[in-house]
Structure 1
Amino acid sequence: MHLREILFAILGVHITGIHSDSVLDEIWHEWMRLNGKTYPGRVSEIKHKQTWERNYLRVLEHNTEKDSLFRMELNFLADETFERTPMASAKLTKDTLRFQPESDLIVSFNDILLPDSWDWRTKKAVTHVENQGQLGDSQAFAAKECVESFNFIKTTDLLLASAAEMHDCCTATGFATETVFDCVHNIGGLCEDYYYPSTYGQCRNNSCTPLAKVSGGQRLPTGDEEAMKSAVYITPVLSLVDASQVSFQLYQEGIYSDPQCSNSTVNHALQVVGYGSLNGMDYWICRNSWGLYWGMNGYITIARNRRNMCGIASFSSYPV
């Protein structure tokens, strides 16, 4: 049985009524055990438990809302706040609204007949879900995943590229002011993960042979989800989103939307690998970098054509 199934079997027993301290303590310690959590001292544990209790109540409250299109869960992040951000936030300003191509190679979407749904996973064009872990750079993972997929579409060779190289050479300073795919072109491409040094902090692109190459990158118009749909049909897209809401942190399944989510300030990166619709609700298929135990085996579907939910189309680009 999946860890989340065991935990929610426990929660199901206590889903109604007032939860006593002893019951919460029981669930808390079982959650710690299932997620392998330990803390350096009693003070640290109490602090994390207080956050966990707040999230416990949020999950129960949200999952009893009949009109919600997604569910939340007490996953391995339930004892953490989302005040920590792996990268500095980017905001839409008058300058960033002037989106110009960062590459001379511009893909025209005119006359493309798009299917109602598309998923690059079914084309074997995406690698396995990874966990950004201590690297803490979601942009490095999402960008290198786009390079992997683009390389496969061109060559049918699916390589696991180095997120460490992407981080060291292109994204270590935070959100790239120029497209990261231009950076990949400038360093000659990305090496396979196995051959790039596992220590971070210095660009070592000359230490291995780059195999996944691009000619540059193309940004999409701000907030244009139709243009983004056309781009995703050509190749998976890198999108920067607002992932600061607890509902995102504790997402389990379903089509995600949150009215508190910003479409102009973003702090996290995803690889958009497809799109579709369910019961009249359009969605994007996005791969995260928090491992298989988050969301739907590492994926999230985000509401599409719903006022640019969480900024999904505010800062998006793809390799060319």
Structure 2
Amino acid sequence: MKALLAALLFLSAMAAAAKPAFGGYESQQEAADDADAMKKMDRKTLFAEWRAANGKAYASPAREAAAFAAFNAAVTSVIAHNSNPNAKFFKGLDEYADLTWEQFAATRLMKGISPAAAVARGAAAPKAAALPKPGRKLAQTPPAAWDWRALGKVPAARNQGGCGSCWAFAAVAALESKALIDGTTFSGDLSEQQMVDCVNSALGYSSGGCNGGYSSDVLNYVAKFRATTEADYRYTATMGTCQEPMTGHPAVAGSLTVAGYTTVTASKAAIQSAIYTNGPVVTYFNVISSFYGYAGGIYPAAGCPTDTINHAMLIVGYNFSAPVPYWIIRNSWGAGWGIEGGYIYVEATNNSLGACRMYTGLYAPRLTSAVSNLAAEDVPAVAVAALRCAWPAISCPK
């Protein structure tokens, strides 16, 4: 009887061990073992387990059939990729595995944003000329590895949903981290929707809501008009009419402002220094099909085109002591994507373009300050103008 019970427990443990993890792989062996487990499972059963793990429901049998077809193709791709002993990164089955690459790209990536335009837009906007003069920390040589998450200075990754608003998410994330580093007292959760709605042509910006935009526009906007909180301006994943928070002008309604921003030089050493001395840095990126299924390892520069950009993220750290040096990057596709709650490791190259053109559009916010939520009717027009121009290193709006 004891032998039978032991055998049953062993078989139960083996079955549990063989159950796919779907992602979050820390080694090639782990990814290969998961691929082997997927090979042995019926695809419909695997789909059912994945649906349960991700809380997926479909509006019609036709939609479910289309989702299964996309999922089935993703499984085939994951098995082939992760079974390769020479794979440098690993693929997984995250919450987007029921979408084709075309479907995913159409709703979550930016459109019509060229590298040259991103650089020109950042250079044209008012900004701080340079990072602060060296102090005790700034005079030190940056360490070989640094991660602002370890110091509690990076809020949890968020999800932009079906809207190409990564440019707003990356800039807001940079502001939130900078405020935490500066010790600025604020809600800790700023509104991305304010940026999607308000950073527009009416105020002289070139950003286009869910179609894409420029993180430098967001930083410039916040320097002029302040940023309000998520609680006051909820995210909808659509572009709407700018709702000036509270009752008045956006210049006096918000919880955070910033003393401009700095454009970081396109080099590995300059980015390393900016991250260590100032805080996380916004980066633009060319996302291709292999990227959106990332589930571990170091995403390589080889094979990733550098001719365009379609996504923005936040570099929060680096590890140059690893066999393959890499950047630690926070994405905005939710905590279930990538590794460690929404992150990706990307190879750190020594050229001027970076992996997937990521050395384009590198922006670092300057000193942040908290601003009370005041109604415009309580503040005279002269005070509004003075408040707009109170911060150094920015141009006063005309």
The 3-state SS of whatever aligns with 2:283 is: strand
Q: Say which of 126, 143, 164 aligns to 2:154.
A: 126
2:388 matched to which residue of 1?
none
1:318 partner SS = strand
Counterpart pick for 2:198 among 156, 169, 188: 169
- The 8 Å contact of residues 219 and 260 in structure 2, kept in 1 or not, is answered as yes
Q: Which residue of 2 aligns with 1:304?
A: 348
In structure 2, the CA distance between the partners of 1:69 and 1:235, relative to structure 1 (3 Å rule), is: same
- TM-score, normalization: structure 1? 0.85
**Aligned positions of 1:168-207 closer than 5 A:** 168-170=197-199, 171=207, 172=209, 174-176=212-214, 179-187=217-225, 189-197=226-234, 201-207=240-246
Shift of 1:101: 6.5
Secondary structure, aligned partner of 1:33: helix
The alignment partner of 2:284 has SS state of strand
From the CA coordinates, give the structure whose radius of gyration is larger.
2
* Equivalent pair of 2:148/2:280 in contact (CA under 8 Å): yes
Distance change >3 Å, CA 75–CA 148, structure 1 → 2: same
Kindly report the root-mean-square deviation, in angstroms, between the aligned alpha carbons of the 2 structures.
Answer: 3.1
Equivalent in the alignment of 1:219: 263
Q: 1:102–1:219: 8 Å Cα contact kept in structure 2?
A: no
Q: How does 1:215-294 map to 2 (within 5 A)?
A: 215-221=259-265, 223-233=266-276, 234-245=278-289, 247-257=290-300, 259-277=302-320, 279-294=322-337
2:169, 2:215 → 1: CA distance? 17
Name the stretch that deviates more: 171-180 or 84-93: 171-180
State how many pairs are aligned. 311
Deviation at 1:85, TM superposition (A): 4.2
Task: Say which of 28, 40, 50 aligns to 1:31.
Answer: 50
Shift in alpha-carbon separation, 1:176–1:136, aligned structure 2, 3 A = closer
Q: Percent identity?
A: 27
CA distance, structure 2, for counterparts of residue 128 and residue 160 of structure 1: 10
Question: In the alignment, residue 241 of structure 1 is paired with which amino acid?
Answer: F
Give the 3 Å change call, closer, same or farther, for CA 67–279 of structure 1 in structure 2.
farther
Match of 1:8 in 2: 21
Which residue of structure 1 aligns with residue 125 of structure 2?
102
Amino acid at match of 1:115: P
State the match for 2:365 in structure 1. 319
Displacement after TM superposition at 1:284 (Å): 0.7
Partners in 2 of 1:117 and 1:95 — Cα distance? 28
Q: Which amino acid aligns with 1:239?
A: T
What is the TM-score of this pair, normalised by structure 2?
A: 0.69
Quote the offset at 1:97 in angstroms.
6.6
Change (3 A) 1:36 1:309: same
Residue 143 (structure 2) aligns with: 115
Residue 249 of structure 1 aligns to a residue in which SS? coil
Compute the displacement of 1:78 (Å).
1.0
- Unmatched 5+ stretches in structure 2: 1-17, 23-31, 200-206, 248-252, 367-398
CA distance in 1 between counterparts of 2:118 and 2:181 reads 33
**2-structure distance, mates of 1:205, 1:72:** 42
Judge conservation of contact 1:141–1:289 (CA < 8 Å) in 2.
yes
Identify if the C-alpha distance between structure 1 residues 35 and 131 changes in structure 2 by more than 3 Å, giving closer, same or farther.
same
Kept in 1, the 8 Å contact 2:192–2:235? The answer is no
The AA in structure 2 aligned to 1:68 is A
Give the distance between the partners of 1:16 and 1:194, measured in 2 at CA.
43
What letter matches 2:222 in structure 1?
V
1:150·1:236 contact (CA, 8 Å) conserved in 2?
yes
With 35-44 and 60-69 compared, the bigger mean Cα shift is at 35-44
Runs of 4+ in 1 over 6 A off after TM superposition: 16-19
How far apart in 1 are the matches of 2:93 and 2:312? 22
- 1: CA distance, partners of 2:38 / 2:151: 47
Kindly state the Cα deviation for residue 134 of structure 1 after the two structures are TM-superposed.
Answer: 4.7
Match of 2:202 in 1: none
CA displacement, residues 153-187 of structure 1 (integer Å, 9 cap, x when unaligned) = 22343621111112212252621285421122122
Q: Secondary structure at the match of 1:193?
A: coil
- Give the Cα–Cα distance (whole angstroms) in 1 for the partners of residues 357 and 291 of structure 2: 13
Local SS of the residue matching 2:93: coil
Q: Distance in 2 between matches of 1:165 and 1:17?
A: 43
Offset at residue 257 of structure 1 (A):
1.8
* Structure 1 residues 224 and 97, CA gap change in structure 2 (3 angstroms): farther
Which one is further off, 92-101 or 60-69?
92-101
SS of 2:320's equivalent? strand
Deviation at 1:14, TM superposition (A): 7.4
In structure 1, what is the Cα distance between the partners aligned to 2:191 and 2:75? 36
